[in-house]
Chains A and B, each alone.
Chain A
């Protein structure tokens, strides 16, 4: 302590350095896997016939590495570095910081081992098996405690906008992650999610879409609000824009998930909510872009020379582009073209490469010289990185636009006679081969730029020494008291109006004719009253908000309320109406033991990464694959397998379409039955034997979840299992194939051959859509 009662605060910069190095390392790994799987799509030979190197197993590794390992570590770097400075407080606990760091890295290593081994839950970005899921939750809670504890003992009265975004990130990711990973273990390495069919689909995309929102967007916006004005040395453009876009963003984002399920069997009201909330999301997203870009006013001359600002300016611009494209793709009719195609993948990469990776690069270039007390090794190399990266992104995204729109148009196109213009799915796949090459090239260039950055930063680090920032905080500014009590923060006009409007809007949407009319009138009236009240009492409201910013706990609770609303209103009706689910005259056939085993192989091999099991209510889909999917047809699917991408055709009604021998040869060498296919071969399915012993506990768990398996003893199950295997093997023998009935491929064929079978044994026969 110094003479004037001042306190010396030494920041924990060591943890920041470690997280940054981890982010760079995992970034390279994640992108390398990305380039490999992009090349596998162009050249199937690159699957090498090795199980743990096939596309279906590596694609989850790529997404998990890019999201959780790369952006995760990058986010922790930025949050830990900037929060200490914005609160003028050292991180609350060194111990928790290190538990956080090593825990997270171990989880990543665990993921990098389990995913290639085929240990997966098959829910996108939620593939990790349950022991790792628990580890993620524990470490996330450690992170949350460390962060909120720091806020609680902060030496800065008011919370800066970056902190708001960090709070929203931590709370919402915890909520999403926990709900979407609820499951019942069947063994140490396997479990079934507690949701099935449409419920699982809805929960998955509530999670999946908001992983993009609250893992890839809000933390990076917080990082933008700290590092961009720092690097530009300009004030942030507009405080009130920050307020409006923050609250509208966190409230609206959560509702948009169902836009991943447009034109599927998802109930129409949910599809509509997904679409209209996505459209409403456009302005809040652009609010962030505007505040970033307009902060650069007066600093644009520096953007010309400073690579850091180049990365930030381009990153924020890509954010704006991707958040315009998102609402566009969420429009039903646009989505009927774009869904299941490369367009979606291109959209995601405009965000992850353009926004996440460029913001990361800008931040790393800014941080490294400061954390190691030296100058950047080479501005020129950073400049080259920028341009290589930029060309890489543009090649990638342009290739995906062309590929997505081309295949989408071809596959949907119907001739005037009412038949498919391109009946062979592979015709569409092979028409975009050059785009697949261009995409791999674009990704490769981007990776090259990133490696260049690693080299540049490595040289910078070698030239410097770790430095730790120490500041003096005046004694009178320590340990700020909270500005508002919880009651004061909740019982306030802005909060009450907002809650009332949401309540009335829900009543409008969900209740009968008379009460919904009343609710509609009340909703509009409340909105008008709120606007009039604000024009009179606006100054008092902003005073209240200033005091809310001095209260971390009430602020966090209000954020939780804002993000929880959408999910509850969308998901709970579907969960509680389980008994009354509209089966739409189609109930699913209950799997036999061998089929269930085959289904778990389907999940293990990541077939869902290229094949959907959901025929959309679109003419092209119905002509190609049969009657559109119904809710009842996947009620026993834990997890659901609707998929999100068609590199291959939809499989939901492929059962019984081809003989067993066709599938046998197709798994052995896809090109023998499908000329020009880019599907990998699966030789190990012919060597590995199916292990019946795992089944009884799996069936037990599924019965708990409500699947009506008939009462069978373990011995009877075994008998059924073996008998069906022998039956298929005998059928193959007739076609001249000798294979032992206990091989995995037999189980997989059993599963594939029942796809589309209903409880009545037939697919739904409605209208005249069957010849």
Chain B
């Protein structure tokens, strides 16, 4: 225990508290650097963001970010047409993907077999908010707040909504192939 012996030669403070003694060793340099370094950082950070006014409120920042996101999202392509959605509904891979999304997000209100419940029945012949593939697409994207249908556009996005529409069409015989095909 060489280390310990060496430390025992250091001077102890004169005061003893209930048998407890104290050294008065130098504070480790790296520790002091951490202490002072954090303080210097704090001053610089404040100076840059608040003194030099480089701070924008969070809600402004996030709105800009979202705007940019949506610009690039729109560049990705226009909303799908009836024909495109119909074609997707004949593609088993798309329908399967749509089914998965349906089971995760829609099943609670529209039922295991699309029979409805809190939400509308999707297998019958009545389409309250329009029965073309693009009508269904728009209903999902924009929601029907008065009837309790949430807005799914920003949550699911165009791709996933198209898949769900394809799945729904594939289960509903009332929706016919669009004439232009």
Contact = CB atoms under 8 A, between A and B. Distances in A.
Contact of B21 (A235, A280, A418, A618): A235
B66 A298 contact: no
Interface string B91-118: 0000000000001110111000000001
Interface stretch (A555-563, A652-660, A743-751): A652-660
A374 to B, nearest CB: 21
B2 to A, nearest CB: 10
Contacts of A769: 63, 66-67, 154
B19 interface: yes
A238 B24 contact: yes
Interface string A211-239: 00000000000000010011000011111
Interface in A632-684: 656-662, 665, 672-675
Given A241-B27, A622-B62, A735-B118, A272 B49 contact: yes
Nearest to B61: A617
B180 interface: no
A235 B21 CA distance: 5
B46 A276 contact: yes
B69 A619 contact: yes
Contacts of B72: 416-418
A674 B145 CA distance: 19
B157 interface: yes
A424 B105 contact: yes
A766 interface: yes
Contact of B104 (A226, A237, A427, A665): A427
Contacts of A616: 58
A520 B46 CA distance: 11
A768 B69 CA distance: 11
A573 interface: no
Contacts of A236: 20-23
B84 to A, nearest CB: 16
Given A272-B46, A283-B31, A298-B8, A418 B69 contact: yes
A282 interface: yes
B150 A767 contact: no
A23 B18 CA distance: 25
A415 B104 CA distance: 18
Contacts of B38: 279-280, 282-283
B58 A268 contact: yes
A239 B155 contact: no
Contact of B158 (A417, A424, A426, A623): A417
Contact of A624 (B23, B73, B155): B155
Contacts of A662: 108-109, 118, 148
B28 interface: yes
Nearest to A269: B50
Contacts of A226: 18, 20
Nearest to A156: B17
Contact of B25 (A161, A238, A417): A238
A508 interface: yes
A660 B63 CA distance: 31
Given A235-B12, A419-B73, A617 B42 contact: no
Contact of B3 (A297, A426, A622): A297
A505 to B, nearest CB: 8
Contacts of A617: 57-59, 61-62
B39 interface: yes
Interface string A491-519: 00000000000000000110000001000
B13 to A, nearest CB: 6
B58 A239 contact: no
A286 B69 contact: no
A628 B22 contact: no
A237 B153 contact: no
Contacts of B29: none
Interface string B44-70: 011101110001011101111111011
Nearest to B73: A418
A206 interface: no
B159 interface: yes
A226 B18 CA distance: 9
Interface residues of A, number: 89
Nearest to B66: A769
B59 A627 contact: yes
Contacts of B55: 268, 272
B151 interface: yes
A158 interface: yes
Interface string B122-148: 000000000000000000011001011
A235 B41 contact: no
A673 B111 CA distance: 10
B118 A659 contact: yes
A420 interface: yes
B76 interface: yes
B78 interface: no
Nearest to A287: B31
Interface in A245-264: 248, 263-264
A584 B59 contact: yes
A771 B73 CA distance: 12
A336 to B, nearest CB: 10
A310 interface: no
A317 B23 CA distance: 21
A224 B109 CA distance: 58
B171 interface: no
Nearest to B1: A298
B148 A658 contact: yes
B66 A282 contact: no
A767 B20 contact: no
Contacts of A238: 22-27
Contacts of B18: 82, 85-86, 88, 226
Contacts of B57: 268, 584, 617
Given A286-B31, A286-B34, A673-B109, A516 B151 contact: no
Contacts of A674: 108
A423 B46 contact: no
A662 B108 CA distance: 9
B157 A417 contact: yes
Given A283-B31, A769-B154, A240 B66 contact: no
Given A236-B23, A617-B57, A658-B150, 19 more contacts: A235-B22, A236-B20, A239-B24, A240-B24, A279-B41, A279-B42, A280-B35, A282-B34, A419-B160, A423-B104, A520-B47, A619-B69, A621-B62, A622-B62, A672-B108, A673-B108, A767-B64, A769-B63, A771-B154
Closest 6 CB pairs of A and B: A419-B157, A617-B58, A659-B148, A298-B4, A771-B153, A283-B35
Interface of B: 1, 3-4, 7-8, 12-13, 15, 17-28, 31-32, 34-35, 38-39, 41-42, 45-47, 49-51, 55, 57-59, 61-67, 69-70, 72-73, 76, 103-105, 107-109, 118, 141-142, 145, 147-148, 150-160
18 contacts: A235-B20, A236-B23, A238-B25, A241-B25, A241-B27, A265-B59, A280-B38, A297-B7, A417-B72, A520-B47, A618-B62, A621-B62, A622-B66, A623-B155, A624-B155, A658-B148, A673-B109, A675-B104
Interface of A: 82, 85-86, 88, 156, 158, 160-161, 226, 229-230, 235-242, 244, 248, 263-265, 268-269, 272, 275-277, 279-280, 282-284, 286-287, 290, 294, 297-299, 301, 414-420, 423-424, 426-427, 508-509, 516, 520, 584, 616-619, 621-624, 627-628, 630, 656-662, 665, 672-675, 735, 766-771
